[in-house]
A and B are shown apart, each in its own frame.
Chain A
Amino acid sequence: MKRLISDKELVAYIDGQLTKEEVCSLKAKALENGEADLLLHVQLAALECDGEIADELLGKDFFMQDDDHLSTIAIAAKSFPFVENKE
């Protein structure tokens, strides 16, 4: 039976609170049950929400400044192998 990643695990992953062993275990579970793309998307979505905090802790993100925000990840989301989860 598939062991889906729990909301608790997902939030801890977003928050960077997991140990190396826990991250390895979570990734293995994600592979097993086809939720690998979820791990990537939640990280990037959380970054969108925490933009101001990121600027405060890390400084401005000059690398993305010249970018057309709409086109960046959308294209990659289609072509990335990791979005092709098993059903």
Chain B
Amino acid sequence: MDISINTIERIDYLDFEVIKKNLKNNRPQLIIEKEFVRRITLLEDSLQRKQAQGYFNTEFSSPILSYVARYVYNNAYYQEILGEYYEFISKENKNIPYYKLTLYKNINNSTLCHYVTAITVRYFIDKKKKEDKISRKQLSIDGASKVNTKENERDVIDNPWFNLLIGNAGDVHEKEMASETRKKIDFIFSKLPERDVKVIKLMVMHNVSGLDAFEELEDDLSKTAKIPTSTWTTKQKQDAMALQKARALKHFIKVMNNEKINF
């Protein structure tokens, strides 16, 4: 839903329900995102601030926090990290609540949601690593036994599964992959929808760009898309392929878990 010029002139009076609807759009307008941030970071207590902060703390942030709680913190409840989240978002300038949101710049036509996702996931992964490191050190002292607190860098880099997903120095060539790993990957591929296999091969193993991968998969995508793929903008194509890649990885992980496969 685009907001008209007349509305924009009075955007500071815009009903919050309109702002919410726009934020939930595939491509929210930058002017609405900026107004949302302005309201959240208001210093004086007001209905506008209450509504904006309330929405940010619940609907806006819950998918991100739920993900972090479940998958970074191994099934914690997201309420357990909510306080830490607020501290982090407000850090660096205690005078402005939710200060980090003011740093959002909409670079490359991205969205506020993706900006918050990126900085939040990074923060909590780093935090978890630090906590794990401390806990390993404590374990070492408590147990009076030697515990390796340093990850084995070589093992990580040499691991074929790691290489598959992250792609060490370019493409992963099938012939270079150990046969056991190849068998496991082929087995998982056999359990996945054809589209997932294509996407993982193209975008994960061979680092093909979203737009190039779209060209390969357009016919298949057009069978399930609610909007005809022929009308998609470049941005929609990039979004679709990024989301399809994430879905394929999620499916890959599901099969790994179900079949108890380790790499």
Contacts and interface: CB of A to CB of B under 8 A. Distances in A.
Contacts of A47: 243, 246-247, 250
Given A70-B75, A72-B250, A16 B241 contact: yes
B71 A63 contact: no
Given A31-B166, A44-B71, A47-B243, A7 B118 contact: yes
Contacts of A28: 168-169
Nearest to A36: B166
Interface string B161-187: 110011111100000000000000000
Contacts of A38: 121-122, 125
B22 interface: no
A76 interface: yes
B14 interface: no
B113 A49 contact: yes
A57 B209 contact: no
Interface residues of A, number: 65
Nearest to A55: B226
Given A54-B247, A59-B226, A64 B240 contact: no
A53 B225 CA distance: 11
A85 to B, nearest CB: 7
B157 interface: yes
Given A15-B108, A74-B75, A61 B63 contact: no
Nearest to A63: B251
B251 to A, nearest CB: 5
Contacts of B115: 7, 11
B121 A81 contact: no
Interface string A44-82: 111111111111111111011001001111111111111
B70 A73 contact: yes
Interface string B46-81: 000000000000000001101110111011000000
B162 A81 contact: yes
B118 A23 contact: no
Given A14-B118, A36-B162, A46-B242, A52 B24 contact: yes
Contacts of A19: 209
B207 A72 contact: no
Contacts of B74: 74, 77-78
Given A14-B117, A43-B242, A61-B247, A76 B257 contact: yes
26 contacts: A10-B122, A14-B117, A17-B108, A20-B206, A30-B166, A31-B166, A31-B168, A41-B125, A45-B121, A46-B246, A48-B63, A48-B66, A49-B64, A54-B243, A58-B224, A58-B225, A63-B196, A63-B247, A64-B254, A72-B253, A74-B70, A76-B253, A80-B263, A81-B162, A84-B155, A85-B156
Interface of A: 7-8, 10-12, 14-20, 23-24, 27-28, 30-31, 35-61, 63-64, 67, 70-82, 84-87
A-B interface, 10 closest residue pairs, ranked by CB to CB distance from nearest:
A59-B224, A16-B242, A16-B210, A47-B246, A10-B118, A57-B240, A45-B67, A16-B238, A86-B153, A48-B63
